[in-house]
Amino acid sequence: MEGRILSFESMGLVDGPGIRTVVFMQGCPLRCKFCHNPDSWECGAGQSISAEELFAKIQRFRPYFKRSGGGVTFSGGEPLLQKDFVLEVFKMCKAAGIHTCLDTSGVGRGGYGELLRYTDLVLYDVKAVDAEGYRNICGGNIAVTEEFQRALRESGVETVIRQVVVPGINDSGEYMEKLKSYIQEKIPQATKVELLPYHLMGLHKYKKLGIAEPLAGVPAMSKAEAEKLYKEYFEN
């Protein structure tokens, strides 16, 4: 089976435990205002690669990630849009004893049970906690995420929650309280929450693609501010 990828990173350190080989899948149905990978949006763009070829590439980096307790992470874009391709590669990885991690917003086309059986860890990206906030921040329908959340609960797969925090949009105490309740209700098996401070590092890509910056004028959030919010609302 062929899939489309945006890029391949051999020494990822932030997308799961240990050193990760990270595969950025091409195509995303969302348009998050804080997205730093707008080049991943267009379905059908990127590079075409077969599942076997990709697995062979992953295998080449095995000595690095194995020693560190790492593995492979599929990110994006939205990897669930190419669920069958990811499943095929994950099956090969599991047969070879490689730790598999799926970084997703939960917005694919359904039928997630089998993929989750071959997934060791999910990094679940929360965009917003209600329909209006969701539409505003990523232009999507929050109801679409429900099927994946249900499958995730049923699977019991270990899950880490990620939330990008943008100054003036979702950095209030009120939002943090709502986020806490949302996670407890929707993804009760979450073992960790990561608040990712909004940064400006992807802005040059908007310029290059000729896309207007959705958050023009919004400042980056410092790591210290995000840590403060985490300590106040999520520690213990």
Strands 190-197 and 20-25: unpaired
When asked if residue 77 is in the footprint of ligand SF4 (CB under 6 A), the reply is yes
Binding mask 124-163 for ligand SF4 (x = CB under 6 A): --------------x-------------------------
Instruction: Please give the C-alpha separations between residue 229 and each of 123, 193, 219, 235, in angstroms, as whole numbers.
Output: 20, 11, 17, 9
Give all strands of the β-sheet with 190-197 in edge-to-edge order: 47-50, 2-12, 20-25, 71-75, 99-104, 121-126, 158-165, 190-197
Under a CB-based contact definition with an 8 Å cutoff, are residues 65 and 71 in contact? yes
Q: CB of 39 within 8 A of CB of 205?
A: yes
CB of 60 to ligand SF4, least distance (A): 26
Q: CB of residue 38 vs ligand SF4: minimum separation in angstroms?
A: 7
Among 5, 6, 22, 35, which residue interacts with ligand SF4 (rule: CB under 6 A)?
Answer: 35
Report the C-alpha gap between 220 and 198 in whole angstroms: 5
Task: Pick one of 3, 16, 76, 108: the residue that binds ligand SF4 (CB under 6 A).
Answer: 76
- Residues binding ligand SF4: number (CB under 6 A): 12
37 binds ligand SF4 (CB under 6 A): yes
Q: Is 169 in the site for ligand SF4 (CB under 6 A)?
A: no
Residue 28 makes contact with ligand SF4 by CB under 6 A: yes
* Dist. CA 73–CA 9, nearest whole Å: 10
Q: For ligand SF4, which residue of 82, 105, 119, 145 counts as binding (CB under 6 A)?
A: 105
Interface with ligand SF4, residue 92, by CB under 6 A: no
User: Where along the sequence are the contacts to ligand SF4 (CB under 6 A)?
Assistant: 28, 30-32, 35, 37, 40, 76-78, 105, 138
